[in-house]
Amino acid sequence: MQDAILKINHLTVAVQEFNKETLLVNDLNLEIPRNRITALVGSSGSGKTTTGLAILRLLPQALYMKKGAIVWEGQDLMNLSENQMRLMRGKKIGMVFQEPLNAFNPVFTIGFQIGEVLKQHTTLSGPKINDEIVRLLTTVGVDDPPRILNSYPYQLSGGLRQRAMIAQAIAASPSLIIADEPTSNLDVTLQAHIMELFRKLRDELKMTILLISHDLGMVVHLAEQVAILANGRMVESGETKSIWQHPRHPFTQQLKQKMVI
Amino acid sequence: MLLELQGIKKYFPLKQRWGGKPSEVLKAVDNVDLTVAEGQSLGLVGESGSGKTTLGRIILKLIPFDAGRIVFEGQDITPFKGKQMRQVRKQLQMVFQDPYSSLDPRFRVFQLLDEAMLFEKEMKLADKEIFFSGLLKDVGLSADVLNRFPHEFSGGERQRIAIARALVVKPKLLILDEAVSSLDVIIQSQIIDLLLTLQKKFNLTYIFISHNLKVVKRISRRVGVIYKGKIVELAKTDELFNNPLHAYTKELLAAAIEYKPLSIRPTIALDGEFNFVDQGQEHFVLKSLGH
Amino acid sequence: MTRNTEHVSEFQLALRSFKKNRLAVCCAMILFIFYAGAIFADFLSPYSYRNEDRNYSYCPPTPVRFFDEGKWVGPYIYGQTLTFNEFYRRVYQTDTTRRFPVRLFVQGDEYKLLGLIPSRLHLVGVQEGARLYLIGADSRGRDLWSRILYGAQISLSIGLIGVLISFSIGLIVGGVAGFYGGWIDNVLMRLCEMVMMVPGFYLLLALRAAVPDDFNSVQIYFAIVVILSFIGWAGLARIIRGMCLSLREREYVLAAKSLGLSDFKIILRHILPHTVSYSIAAVMLSIPGYILGESALSLIGLGIQDPYASWGNLLSDNMSIVRIKFAPWILWPGVFIFLTVISFNIIGDTLRDCLDPMMKAERK
């Protein structure tokens, strides 16, 4: 059994709406093994994105963690101060968002924004930063790094933007990448490329990836472990192959049945 | 023949010279010919930027185009404007990709449906309510939806409302532009089921535009593959999926089914003269005249 | 799976958070009181705005007393007589021989309530023989408090009417320019810029100079309103044009087009309503400009003329250090202008802040 890089224990996230408390994530327990791709699968409203945000303590103000611990290398992330947490973000745990247009600041170039991450978390400076950005962009499969470096987010196609965002996420060499619906806005053709890229991150850069998605079909081709969420609860988890071949929970069965083709 | 497209061209200028023809153009739709027979739903697949969305909007004359003709039910609607076009629009409707932005958030569902009824304004309020309730039931929603606002519904429900709105005028041809692409896979499947049911009930013909081949396979009788503004292959659905002939189609299928990444472009040359050749059993492939 | 939420419009949501801001609610109440005071000025003021008595020129505020030799007798005042001291300065001697009770609901100067119903009823007053100056008198002995109330009618209404006209013009111009783009947009925006280019105050003066001399006061009033609206529409038009430019790309606009709606209907139903929320905040923030514009004109004698009162021309009496030193109460109209302008600004700012996050929430 692989050792776990991150352990989520009894995570419960709630929100106060109209004087009523609704649980978005309900007693979630999950171990994320090192150097593997683990997937969190569920439909919208299942709590999977909320879980991803909770790990990095990036929950929107209205949501709060009611209960639970998120243990990273023996330390509960919930006990860290905001400053300490900020050091974790980017450096130890990186995040890739669903819509790169929203994640990038439209008035700064890609190079500037990736550079920000490098300045924050590494000791690089000056021309070395640009070299590093070019190297990162090449790693994620960008064809013409110097051009992309000087481009603004709106000038790039969806696929390129997503790659740029992944480059930004891995810039400080984090051990864990949380990818929230990274291909949902992309074509099937681009989807395959990004999946390939994640495999590369796992195999060559030895990163661990937590993939959040609603597409079980895609997950089956990419992740070794999967956890299925419904209404904030985990209904099934384990090795992807065995869950796909013998789904036990009715929700998982329904998911599989509804997969077209 | 319900719809015929002949030689449709839409070019976007990239570099504009002062007063004159642009020096560089983007050929969003490059000399497209298509026919759609009644009851024979057509799927159009391609990547983003291939021109499929542009083509969909051109069919509805929502955007102007540079060359070609659109023939609908035997009538050349290319020069139609204003009132004339509005009559045609009753038969041609569209369901858009984003259920969150295709419904005006300030309107209640009743008003959204009511707006679509341009020419039957003489209908009494009570009759309208009955009519709309019936429509909503057909798309799987209850009648009390009428009084609510779009933001109270989930993506799948909103898309059902959008479909209901498109059906208000009882169209013959419904264009669905990536109508399920922004929904979860489970909901996608439900909407596809709904569309198939509605097709039988109302005798609709669909043009289903998508990059998602799995979904297109379920809903189309014929499938056309678009690449860089040109249709590179067109065949009956099973034939296309089992026997893809064009290089691009093969790669597209590999990416969609096995998630194999496409080879690095450009491999497929599109310059020069082309012919749309029938390889037998109405399976058309774009071949350059060099072959 | 439908969420059971109460359906409120974005404006109602904004109003809710607006109510939570105490400062803004306070300002709203201030403005409400001012406007109510303006509407019922005739009733609330002890005297008509024309009621003058040169024997009481620059009379300081009459102190209202309640006790006489330690006994409670109710509110009353003493009569005042004008005398001059050895430096030829005005001094008012109080005549303590006779008490003039301050009564409620007294009969006083005649007026027409709301312009229709003749009446003589005033909220407070004293009988003949003494004059009640709550905050003092001006050079002709007119009660400043009354004149401030009457002045509110003009100053506050000019702001509202002017902004309504500008807003309507701005909506139309901005809506058309933003929706169609292209050369229409170009032409209209250059027009806006030409109007905005001329320094506001000079444009104001120039337009005022163009008004014929023989206009009576009512006509001058409307002329001023039109002039102010003419200057103000350009800024609003630009804001609305910007919003329309982005709104027309929304998919529901495309959907409306595909349903066959005419352009006019699309602009009216689908685009302009989405600008109203933000426009209201913009409108609130521009009303002070109109009030100050009218005040500026009246201050230099080009606005509302005597005997009519507006806050601006009330201040014009006072362009003299000597007078301000010896009759400081004549600055009170300035305080009211200040409070009004600040209140509109705070309300406008708060409304805009409240509406902003709602706009983001509107998306999903």
Are A196 and B213 inside 8 Å of each other by CB? no
Q: What does the block give as tokens for A38? A: 């683990």
Per-residue pLDDT at C359? 47
Burial of residue B74, with CB atoms counted within 10 A of its CB: 0-12 exposed, 13-18 middle, 19 or more buried: exposed
Choice between B62 and B21, residue whose per-residue pLDDT is larger:
B62
Looking at chain C, the whole-number percentage of residues with pLDDT higher than 90 is 12
pTM here? 0.74
- In this predicted complex, what is the ipTM? 0.74
Q: Which chain C residue shows the shortest CA-CA distance from B84?
A: C260
Residue C1 with chain A: CB contacts under 8 Å: 45
DSSP E strands, B96-221: 173-177, 205-210
Cis? peptide before C307, omega within 30° of 0: yes
pLDDT tens column, C252-304: 888 887 777 778 888 888 888 888 777 888 888 888 888 888 888 888 777 78
3-state class of B259 per DSSP? coil
Q: What is the pLDDT of residues C52-62, one digit of tens each?
A: 888 888 888 88
Lowest-confidence range among A173-177, B121-125, C5-9, C281-285?
Answer: C5-9
- The pLDDT of residue C304 is 80
Q: Looking at beta carbons, which residues of chain C come within 8 Å of A20?
A: none
Domains of chain C, with CATH numbers?
Answer: 53-141 (no CATH), 147-363 (1.10.3720.10)
Look-up: residue for tokens 């007078």? C323
Could C1 and A45 be called an inter-chain contact, meaning their C-beta atoms sit closer than 8 Å?
yes
Alpha-carbon distances, residue A38 vs A213, A228, A248 (angstroms)? 11, 11, 19
Q: Which band of pLDDT confidence, cut at 50, 70 and 90, is reported for residue C4?
A: very low
Mean pLDDT score across all residues of chain C: 82
- Within chain C, residue ranges assigned H as helices are 10-20, 22-39, 41-44, 144-180, 182-197, 200-210, 217-247, 251-259, 263-266, 272-299, 311-316, 321-326, 332-361
With an 8 Å Cβ cutoff, the interface of chain C facing chain B consists of 1-3, 5, 7, 9-10, 250-252, 254-261, 269-270, 273-274, 362-364
Contacts of B262 in chain A (CB under 8 A): 189, 192-193
Mean pLDDT of B274-287: 73
Task: Enumerate neighbours of B (3 or more CB pairs within 8 A).
Answer: A, C
Tell me how far apart the alpha carbons of residues C213 and C210 are, in angstroms, rounded to a whole number.
9
pLDDT digit string (tens) for B218-237?
A: 899 999 999 888 888 899 99
C interface with A, Cβ–Cβ < 8 A, is: 1, 5-6
Predicted pLDDT at C3 = 40
Q: Where are the beta strands (DSSP E) in chain A?
A: 4-17, 20-33, 37-41, 63-72, 75-76, 93-96, 176-180, 208-213, 225-230, 233-239
- What pLDDT score was predicted for residue B270? 58
pLDDT at residue B275 in the model: 67
Mean pLDDT of chain B: 84
Q: Quick count: other Cβ atoms within 10 Å of Cβ B144? A: 11
Residues belonging to chain A with any Cβ–Cβ distance to chain C shorter than 8 Å: 18, 45
Q: Does B44 have pLDDT greater than 90?
A: yes
Which of C8-22, C141-155, C287-301 has the lowest average pLDDT?
A: C8-22
| Average pLDDT of chain A to the nearest whole number | 87
Q: Which residues contact B82 (CB under 8 A, 6 or more apart)?
A: none
Instruction: Summarize pLDDT for A141-186 with one digit per residue, the tens.
Output: 888 899 889 989 888 888 888 899 999 999 888 999 999 998 887 8
Q: Which of B85, B96, B151 sits opposite C251 (nearest CB)?
A: B96
pLDDT at B274: 65
Instruction: Find, among B99, B86, B170, B92, the residue nearest to B135 by Cα.
Output: B170
pLDDT at C128: 76
List all chains that touch chain C, counting a touch as 3 or more CB pairs closer than 8 Å: A, B
- Asked whether A3 and A34 are in contact (CB, 8 A), the reply is yes
What the block records as the tokens of A178 is: 């949380």
Task: Select the residue of B47, B186, B262 nearest A255 (Cβ to Cβ).
Answer: B186
**List of chain B residues whose C-beta atoms are within 8 Å of the C-beta of residue C251:** 96-98, 101-102
Q: What pLDDT sits at residue B214?
A: 85
- Minimum Cα–Cα distance from B210: chain A residue: A187
Q: Does B212 contact A at CB distance below 8 Å? A: yes
